[in-house]
Amino acid sequence: MRGRTPLPLAILAALGAVFVVLPLLALVIRAPWGDLGSALSGAGASTALRLSVEVSLAATMLSLILGVPLAWVLARSSIPGRSVLRAVVIVPLVLPPVVGGIGLLAALGRGGVVGRWLFEAFGLQLTFTMWGAIAATTFVSMPLVVLATEAGLRSIDPRFERAAAAMGARPGYAIRRVVLPMLAPQLAAGAVLAWARALGEFGATITFAGNLAGRTQTLPLAVYEARVTDPGGAILLSLLLVVLSIVVLVVMRGRITAAR
């Protein structure tokens, strides 16, 4: 129900809105719109854009494939140590992304704990590759999927699954036809959040996957590289990122905050 907003609340809200909108507005004002054509048509911009889309989508998919079952275990299973597991899974959210990148290097880098074996036995290397960028991005995005999905699972009345069983549905059928559809809004919200985070991912990517145009240089990395040598171009690239984000967020509209 919508009512009148008390004045102090309205003032604070306005301040909050201004605080967030101002940098975006400043970008628009400072942008060298005359150079728009050359900046965006340059190979660098379109390559970085393509890479950003590919990496963020792949990372979101991976986050869903791994994150949803993880959320299931956290919400529904009775294995011991769940609360510790949950805390660990959420850690990438509070960790500075660069630290996450260093951790990934230590684990999956060519000289890393597991990476060393992958490289020596199979010649597989994640660093300096697009898959490395996907790995780094998944690392920071998956917690968002896990959080949203676990909350969603907890909010579903468990009696629905018992009802489904009483109706003759085997557990697999009940999950597919009852739980997942009821979970859909939360899953979508989690996916959108994860995707948004993936799109803006920088620190872990540059630390673990490196920075090479066409292979690992996503839009945020391109912006970072351009910012000193071509500040105008950096602003235009930044705006490209902003537009891309806004497009998807608008498409998803109220789903992010709607519980059901």
Q: Give the binding site for another protein (CB under 8 A).
A: 105, 109-111, 127-128, 157, 159-160, 162-171, 173, 177-178, 181-182, 184, 206, 209-213, 215-217, 224-225, 227-229, 231
- For another protein, which is the closer residue by CB, 81 or 168? 168
In angstroms, the CA 144 to CA 135 distance is 15
Among 44, 28, 48, CA closest to 230: 44
First to last CA, the chain: 17
In angstroms, the CA 62 to CA 56 distance is 10
Minimum CB separation from another protein for residue 219, in Å? 15
Radius of gyration of the chain measured on its C-alpha atoms: 21
- For another protein, which is the closer residue by CB, 78 or 229? 229
Minimum CB separation from another protein for residue 105, in Å? 6
In angstroms, the CA 125 to CA 118 distance is 7
- For another protein, which is the closer residue by CB, 196 or 209? 209
Minimum CB separation from another protein for residue 69, in Å? 21
In angstroms, the CA 238 to CA 193 distance is 19
DSSP state of 5: P
DSSP state of 95: S
Asked if residues 217 and 225 have their Cβ atoms less than 8 Å apart, the reply is yes
- What are the φ/ψ torsions at residue 231 (nearest 5 degrees)? -60, -40
- For another protein, which is the closer residue by CB, 50 or 162? 162
Asked if residues 260 and 188 have their Cβ atoms less than 8 Å apart, the reply is no
Among 214, 218, 194, 195, CA closest to 206: 218
Minimum CB separation from another protein for residue 230, in Å? 9
Minimum CB separation from another protein for residue 4, in Å? 26
- For another protein, which is the closer residue by CB, 67 or 112? 112
- For another protein, which is the closer residue by CB, 115 or 143? 115
Minimum CB separation from another protein for residue 223, in Å? 13
